Chains A and B, each alone.
Chain A
Amino acid sequence: MTTTTTTRRKLYMELENCIGCRACLAACTQCGGHEQKNRNYVYDVNPLVNSQTMPLMCLHCVDPACARSCPAQAIQIHETGAVLSATVDKCIGCQNCTIACPYGIPKFDEEENLMYKCDLCIDRTKDDIPPMCASVCPSNTLQWLTEDEIADKKQATDVGNDKWVTSMPYLEGETHVTVNLPGVLQGTVKLF
């Protein structure tokens, strides 16, 4: 096992691959530090129309609104860039973070009066082991890739026709997670 804490890979999402199985939610509860509570979301995009779904994970903003909004400075940023869940003894349960987050990621535990959010399975990802969600995702909607692999993905799918949107540049602000929005096949050249 490597002892370095420098992560070489990042979470990458191809939303169009999502099959709505919610294995990512089930797997989230299996991360040792998550106390059996899942921290991510899967939405039905068009519930009365088709079976399209999409996951919503913490994008681990470089300048995270949740941490900035926290009056108790309970939300720490790991050296890998992962935005951690609130430190239990600092969190005052004000829910500022949930309101501040542009994606509504932080969840709130009413009984404990504590927020909890995705910490990118920090006990795994600090050693470059994929987080549980990306480990199990059967459709490769969630992948754990190197910067080079992500650059290849971008090159393959960004066809410069202004119809293509990814989180590069950025949906809201710069994030450590790259999201590839629906349209993932539009740059594909058919074999025959």
Chain B
Amino acid sequence: MQKDKFFRDIENVRHRNEELVKTHCSYCGMQCGMNLRVDKSTNKIIGVEPRYDWPVTLGKMCPKGVTAYQQTNHDDRILKPLIRDDASLKGTKEGFREASWDEAYDLIAKKFGELQEDYGKDSLSVFSGVSMTNEKCYLTGKFARVAMGTRYIDYNGRFCMSSAAGGFLRSFGVDRGSTLPWTDVHQTDCLFIAGSNTAECHPTSMFRVWAVQERGGYLIVADPRETPVARRADVHLDLRPGTDLALANGILNLLIQNGYADESFVNQHTNGFEETKELVKDFTPEYTSMITGVAVEKIERAAEIYGKAPNAIVMFARGVEQQHKGVDNVSAYTNMALVTGKIGRPKAGVATFTGQGNGQGGREHGQKSDLLPGYQKITNPEAVERVSKVWGIEPEEMPKPGVSAYEMFELMDNKTIRGLYLLCSNPAVSAPNLNFVRGALKKLDFMVCGDFFLSESAEYADVILPSVSWSEDEGTTTNLEGRIIKINKAQEPIGESKPDWLMQVELAERLGKGKHFSHLKTAKDVAEEFRLASKGGVADYYGATWDKIDEQDGVFWPCTDKEDKGTPHMFLDKQFYHPDGKAKICALPYRPPAEEPSEKYPLRLTTGRVVYHYLSGNQTRRIKFLNDMCPDPYVEVHPITAAEYDIEHDEVVLLYTLRGKANYKVKITEAIREDTVFVPYHFGDLESINLLTIAALDPISKMPEYKACAAQIDKIKVAGKVL
């Protein structure tokens, strides 16, 4: 079933004295299959070999994937626990000394204990991430609630996937990032891609995207920039940043007006159509064009193509999600599929391009402030009872919901939160409004950071715990399809580094909670407990054993028991997850971005990724090949705008907003709107574009509006001199 037209039966090259360990990439949600080459005499990872038989990516990799193995034995790896005694050095790389695990654990237990004694249980917090296995994500949630006993846990998915989650939950009653497997993508007749720079952020999707056009299908791309995927689109909807909701409403209006609504599907399987139809009536092509800046003809053509297509997939990513109406954008684009009935069958549906490696699984299993494993609400007494039983605690002991990622920094700033355990994330680069966030980190009484490189955020820590890279531990992740896959261990941990789950078990023992953790001796032990804890939840992983994952090339959740093979296609029975089995078509009034351009700040600033870097760049900036390709950030400016500001290609300018400023080299390109400038966000210290971005949060997902704020450029060089 999974051997599609791209599959080739190819044997791998096996070099002498080498072993190949099959696994997946450490980076984005594509989770490309790869083989790590291990030297049998040194037992070290020395290279990569394509994994031709992985059905999703067939051996293909982007430059990050090809060089991912270079993280494992990198010179910058932290090999021992580090302690910094002089708190005045916080925010710098200085003052750390090597320590034993015992000393580090003792110090953490002592400081955490003191803070909780003086300021209460909830004076501590956990900020985690989703570039790690389900097992680690699961145990981190348990560790926060059982070992630390705090309500304050949240994670960097709030900066990445939470709007998609919120939108899918509202529209479908379930949040699985894709309603279909990726092997359907090239077989559809129309791809409508909004706010995804697919070619740079999920490159190994591209052979399937181009294949749609080769078959005579259509590609529609909505993006303020003419990205490499937009360059070849049949229709490029070059909208103003932050106006997706108007565009989606406008297209929905045309679909309904021109008779593309599937009335029998709408009547039988959805709610909310009439109300939505009324609301989108105002979004005539002309009105939509006025808000979005997209030509009327393009809007009409896009609606016509999507409407006529026998099968179509609506896809989106951070471009639409990282807005203060990100959840509305997701539901509004999802409306297109629900109104036309292009969902619940092969080759038709809705998908988001998951940004982080385990962005899907990591948000399902209890790292979110209000969620327990299996996507179970911490406010649902039955779920609390089920999970409490697995964890061996009384339901009354379960902490209440906490707050979202950015809101935790507000609580650090006002000293509600005084202690932090940070892992698998680098918010000192990736959070918005960084002057505030970095200040909040500095105010902490005590901070622990688990990481394998000394990130910009680790610079605020009192104790750094050396974790392992992805290649030195095993476990599962859930890729952007919702397919649970297996990450395999290729090398023993270097130095004294340890997997995060093991640190948490050992630390729990120091915190007097060993009886809830000490039975977890291996990653597999964690996996077994985690499957059980997810049982009965929406994201039920109970049937997804490691053996089944190996046998089937992954397991799509939900997978509820041993016989269940999993669920590659969602909603084939047209049953959605709301109590009445129907999906919700949402009537969503348009709201402009939180900060619109003004006389003082006339430009629209938007941010994103480049193909060579991942997230905050803490990993990829250390890889020589990748850093050589893109060593510095830059600001993309249209030549007409550049002429207005009298600035040239490669000239350094000052870019600023109400919140912050930074200097960037100008990159002139016609592939961006004249009213918009773009800066990639992978860089630290004074180069972080997030010094300038706005922390306007989506009311549901608490996603900051990274994708749109008002900015201005000042020339700082006159006649060869920097002013």
Task: Give A contacts to B, CB under 8 Å.
Answer: 1, 16-17, 19-23, 25-27, 29-30, 32, 47-53, 123-124, 127, 129-130, 132, 135-140, 184-185, 188-192
Q: Which residue of B lies closest to A188 (CB)?
A: B216
Q: Which residues of the other chain, B, contact A29 by a CB distance below 8 angstroms? A: 625
Say yes or no: B10 contacts A138, CB within 8 Å: no
Say yes or no: A190 contacts B227, CB within 8 Å: no
**Closest Cβ–Cβ distance, residue B555 to chain A (whole Å):** 25
CA distance A146 to B214 in the complex (A): 19
Q: Pick the residue among B206, B217, B231 that contacts A138 (CB under 8 A).
A: B206
Say yes or no: A139 contacts B227, CB within 8 Å: no
Q: Known contacts A136-B50, A191-B217; decide if A19 and B189 are in contact (CB<8 Å).
A: no
Q: Which residues of the other chain, A, contact B310 by a CB distance below 8 angstroms? A: 191-192
Q: Which residues of the other chain, B, contact A51 by a CB distance below 8 angstroms? A: 226-228, 231, 669, 671
- Is there a chain A Cβ closer than 8 Å to B65's Cβ? yes
- Is there a chain A Cβ closer than 8 Å to B48's Cβ? yes
Say yes or no: B200 contacts A21, CB within 8 Å: yes
Say yes or no: B66 contacts A130, CB within 8 Å: no
Q: Which residues of the other chain, A, contact B211 by a CB distance below 8 angstroms? A: 140
Q: Which residues of the other chain, B, contact A136 by a CB distance below 8 angstroms? A: 50, 59-62, 65-66
Q: Known contacts A26-B67, A185-B214; decide if A48 and B670 are in contact (CB<8 Å).
A: yes
Q: Known contacts A26-B66, A30-B66, A50-B669; decide if A139 and B207 are in contact (CB<8 Å).
A: yes
Q: Known contacts A137-B60, A188-B213; decide if A49 and B200 are in contact (CB<8 Å).
A: no
Q: Which residue of B lies closest to A144 (CB)?
A: B8
**Closest Cβ–Cβ distance, residue A48 to chain B (whole Å):** 5
Q: Pick the residue among A23, A32, A124 that contacts B61 (CB under 8 A).
A: A23
Q: Which residues of the other chain, A, contact B67 by a CB distance below 8 angstroms? A: 26
Say yes or no: B210 contacts A17, CB within 8 Å: yes
Q: Pick the residue among B10, B213, B639 that contacts A129 (CB under 8 A).
A: B10
Q: Known contacts A26-B66, A135-B59, A138-B62; decide if A49 and B625 are in contact (CB<8 Å).
A: no
CA distance A185 to B211 in the complex (A): 10
- Is there a chain A Cβ closer than 8 Å to B521's Cβ? no
Say yes or no: B206 contacts A49, CB within 8 Å: no
Which bracket fits the contact residues of B?
A: 35 or more
Q: Which residue of B lies closest to A51 (CB)?
A: B228
28 A-B residue pairs with Cβ-Cβ distance under 8 Å, sorted by A, are: A20-B228, A20-B611, A21-B63, A21-B199, A23-B65, A26-B625, A30-B49, A47-B669, A49-B670, A50-B669, A51-B227, A53-B228, A127-B13, A129-B13, A132-B50, A135-B59, A138-B61, A138-B204, A138-B205, A138-B207, A139-B199, A140-B206, A185-B213, A188-B213, A188-B214, A188-B215, A191-B217, A192-B309
Q: Which residues of the other chain, B, contact A127 by a CB distance below 8 angstroms? A: 11, 13
Q: Known contacts A22-B63, A22-B629; decide if A139 and B669 are in contact (CB<8 Å).
A: no
Say yes or no: A139 contacts B203, CB within 8 Å: yes
Q: Which residue of A lies closest to B69 (CB)?
A: A30
**Closest Cβ–Cβ distance, residue B634 to chain A (whole Å):** 13
CA distance A50 to B238 in the complex (A): 14
Q: A138-B62, A190-B216, A192-B310 are in contact. List 10 more A-B contacts (CB 8 A).
A: A19-B199, A19-B203, A25-B625, A48-B670, A50-B226, A50-B231, A129-B10, A136-B62, A138-B61, A140-B206
**Closest Cβ–Cβ distance, residue A125 to chain B (whole Å):** 10
Q: Which residues of the other chain, A, contact B229 by a CB distance below 8 angstroms? A: 19
CA distance A16 to B50 in the complex (A): 24
Say yes or no: B625 contacts A138, CB within 8 Å: no
Say yes or no: A140 contacts B210, CB within 8 Å: yes
Top 3 nearest A-B pairs (CB, nearest first) are: A19-B199, A138-B203, A26-B66
**Closest Cβ–Cβ distance, residue A27 to chain B (whole Å):** 5
CA distance A53 to B228 in the complex (A): 9
- Is there a chain A Cβ closer than 8 Å to B375's Cβ? no
Of the listed residues B15, B61, B204, B207, the one surrounded by the most CB atoms of chain A closer than 10 A to its CB is B61
Q: Known contacts A30-B47, A191-B189; decide if A19 and B228 are in contact (CB<8 Å).
A: yes
- Is there a chain A Cβ closer than 8 Å to B649's Cβ? yes
**Closest Cβ–Cβ distance, residue A9 to chain B (whole Å):** 9
Say yes or no: A49 contacts B207, CB within 8 Å: no
B184-205 vs A, Cβ < 8 Å mask (1 yes, 0 no): 0000010000000001100111
Q: Pick the residue among B11, B62, B668 that contacts A48 (CB under 8 A).
A: B668
Q: Which residues of the other chain, B, contact A25 by a CB distance below 8 angstroms? A: 63, 625
- Is there a chain A Cβ closer than 8 Å to B389's Cβ? no
Say yes or no: B203 contacts A124, CB within 8 Å: no
Q: Which residues of the other chain, A, contact B52 by a CB distance below 8 angstroms? A: 135
Say yes or no: A16 contacts B13, CB within 8 Å: no
Q: Which residues of the other chain, B, contact A139 by a CB distance below 8 angstroms? A: 199, 203, 206-207, 210
- Is there a chain A Cβ closer than 8 Å to B232's Cβ? yes
Q: Which residue of B lies closest to A46 (CB)?
A: B670
CA distance A192 to B199 in the complex (A): 26
Q: Which residue of A lies closest to B52 (CB)?
A: A135
- Is there a chain A Cβ closer than 8 Å to B717's Cβ? no
Instruction: Tell me the B332-362 residues at the A interface (CB within 8 Å).
Output: none
**Closest Cβ–Cβ distance, residue A30 to chain B (whole Å):** 6
Say yes or no: A32 contacts B228, CB within 8 Å: no
Say yes or no: A124 contacts B13, CB within 8 Å: yes
CA distance A143 to B229 in the complex (A): 19
Instruction: Tell me the B38-56 residues at the A interface (CB within 8 Å).
Output: 47-50, 52
CA distance A50 to B638 in the complex (A): 11
**Closest Cβ–Cβ distance, residue B558 to chain A (whole Å):** 30
CA distance A183 to B211 in the complex (A): 15
B665-693 vs A, Cβ < 8 Å mask (1 yes, 0 no): 00011110000000000000000000000
**Closest Cβ–Cβ distance, residue B269 to chain A (whole Å):** 25
Q: Known contacts A52-B231, A138-B204; decide if A192 and B62 are in contact (CB<8 Å).
A: no
CA distance A191 to B212 in the complex (A): 10
Q: Which residues of the other chain, A, contact B10 by a CB distance below 8 angstroms? A: 129-130
Of the listed residues A22, A25, A29, A123, the one surrounded by the most CB atoms of chain B closer than 10 A to its CB is A22
**Closest Cβ–Cβ distance, residue A82 to chain B (whole Å):** 16
Of the listed residues A130, A135, A140, the one surrounded by the most CB atoms of chain B closer than 10 A to its CB is A135
CA distance A130 to B52 in the complex (A): 10
**Closest Cβ–Cβ distance, residue A162 to chain B (whole Å):** 22
Q: Which residues of the other chain, B, contact A140 by a CB distance below 8 angstroms? A: 206-207, 210-211
